[in-house]
Amino acid sequence: MKIAVFSTCHYDQEFLERFNTRHDLVFFEPALSLQNASLTKGFDATCIFVNDRADRELISLLHDNGVKLILLRCAGFNHVDLETATELGIKVFRVPAYSPEAVAEHAMAMILTLNRKTHKAYNRIREGNFSLEKLMGFNLHGCKVALIGTGKIGKAFYKILKGFGCKIIAFDPFPDAELESEGLQYGTLEEALCDAEIVSMHCPLTDATHHMINSITLKLFKKGAMLINTSRGGLVSTADVIEALKSGQLGYLGLDVYEQEGKLFFHDLSEDVIQDDLISRLISFPNVLITSHQGFFTREAMEQIASITFANADAFISGKNLENELVI
C-alpha cells in the first residue's frame, strides 16, 4: 500500500522506516492542509498526526484523490470529521495507547519543575548565583490533586500520585472500577476542583469538555493552585487562565498542549516574531512552564506508534483485527 506521511520530523521517519512491514512510504514535512492535499493523489492512505487537518472539506479532497484510509499516529481524533469519512467510505484508524506512562511521567515532571523551580535553580547556578531566595516549593505529600479523566493516561498518573502520598479526587463520566477498588474517590467536576491544589487534565477534547477550565471553574481551585494540561489544548480557555494568573487565583501553569498550537508546536520559530499574542503573554509569566507537545515523546512511545500504525494498515488490507478502527 502506498502511504503519504504528513507532519514528518526526522524521528518520525526513523521509526516508521524501522517498523515498516511492507508499505511504500513517502514523507512530507508540512502538516496536511487544503493547500497541499493534492500531494495525496495516487496514494491509498495518508498518515497524519495531531495538528494535521482532516475536516469535511479536506476529507472530501482525499476521497477525490483516491485515498481509502487515514492512519492517525495519535490517540486523539477530535481533528478528524468521522462522519464525513464514513459517508465517503474512508476508514480511519488510530493508535489508542502508545505509552500512557510517557505522558503521565511528563505531567509529573512539569509539576515538580514548577513546584521546586528546578529550571530557575539550574540557570542561577550556571550564573554563579547560589541563593535560595524565591525558590521555595511545597510538599506534594498530602496535597489535594484533582485528576480530570481516568483513562489509560489518567490511570498511570494516579499511580504516580499515590507514590507521592497525594490526596486524590477524580472526575470522569465513566469511573474505573479497578481504581475505585484501590481507593480512588470519584466526584463531580465541582467536587474534584473544589479547593484543589493541583489540577491535572487527562481527558479527551469533545464538545462537552471544550473549555472545561474557564473563568467559572478556575474559581473553584484553591487560591494559588497549579494547573497542568498534557491532554488537549481546547480543554482550557487560555484567555481565562491568563486572567487567573494575573489575579493570583492560579499560582502555577504547566502546558504541554495549547489551543492554537498547530502553527507553533513542532516548528523552530526562534528567528521569527511569534504572532500569537496569548502564548506570548503566557511565556512572559515566571510561573508558567510550556513544552511543545512532547509528553508522548519517549523511545518506547515512538516504537509503539510506528508498530501499531502499520498493524492498522495491515488490518485494513486483511479485514482482520480492526479494534483500532474509529466508527461512529
Q: What is the DSSP string of 116-160?
A: HTHHHHHHHHHTT----TT------TT-EEEEE--SHHHHHHHHH
Among residues 182, 232, 323, 325, which one is catalytic? 232
Beta strands (DSSP E) in 149-299 are 167-171, 185-186, 198-201, 225-229, 250-255, 288-290
Q: How many CB atoms lie within 10 A of CB 36?
A: 14
Measured distance between the N- and C-terminal CA atoms of the chain, rounded to whole angstroms: 25
The string of pLDDT tens digits covering residues 235-275 is 999 999 999 999 999 999 999 999 999 889 998 999 999 99
pLDDT number for residue 69: 98
Q: Is 261 a catalytic residue?
A: yes
pLDDT, average across residues 6-24: 96
Chain mean pLDDT for the chain: 96
Q: Which of 55, 25, 62, 58 is nearest to 40 (CA)?
A: 62
- pLDDT value at 109 more than 90: yes
Helix and strand numbers, DSSP H then E, in the chain = 12, 12
The string of pLDDT tens digits covering residues 266-324 is 989 999 999 999 999 999 999 999 999 999 999 999 999 999 999 999 999 999 989 99
Q: Is 271 a catalytic residue?
A: no
The string of pLDDT tens digits covering residues 16-50 is 999 999 999 999 999 999 999 999 999 999 999 99
* 254 DSSP assignment: E
d(CA 65, CA 42): 7
pLDDT number for residue 57: 97
Q: Which helix (H) or strand (E) holds 113?
A: helix 100-116
Q: What are phi and psi of 102, to 5 degrees?
A: -60, -50
3-state secondary structure of 187: coil
- pLDDT value at 97 more than 90: no
**pLDDT grade for 328, boundaries at 50, 70 and 90:** confident
pLDDT number for residue 126: 97
pLDDT, average across residues 121-130: 97
Going from the N-terminus, what domains does the chain have, and what CATH number goes with each?
A: 2-98+299-318 (3.40.50.720), 100-290 (3.40.50.720)
Q: Which of 174, 171, 159 is nearest to 199 (CA)?
A: 171
- pLDDT value at 94 more than 90: yes
pLDDT number for residue 60: 97
With a pLDDT cut of 70, the percent of the chain lying above it is: 100
The string of pLDDT tens digits covering residues 131-155 is 999 999 999 999 999 999 999 999 9
Among residues 261, 281, 303, 325, which one is catalytic? 261
pLDDT number for residue 262: 87
**pLDDT grade for 76, boundaries at 50, 70 and 90:** confident
- pLDDT value at 161 more than 90: yes
pLDDT number for residue 98: 85
Rounded-to-5 percentages of helix, strand, coil across the chain: 40, 15, 45
* 71 DSSP assignment: E
pLDDT number for residue 265: 94
What's the one-letter identity of residue 98? Answer: Y
pLDDT number for residue 138: 98
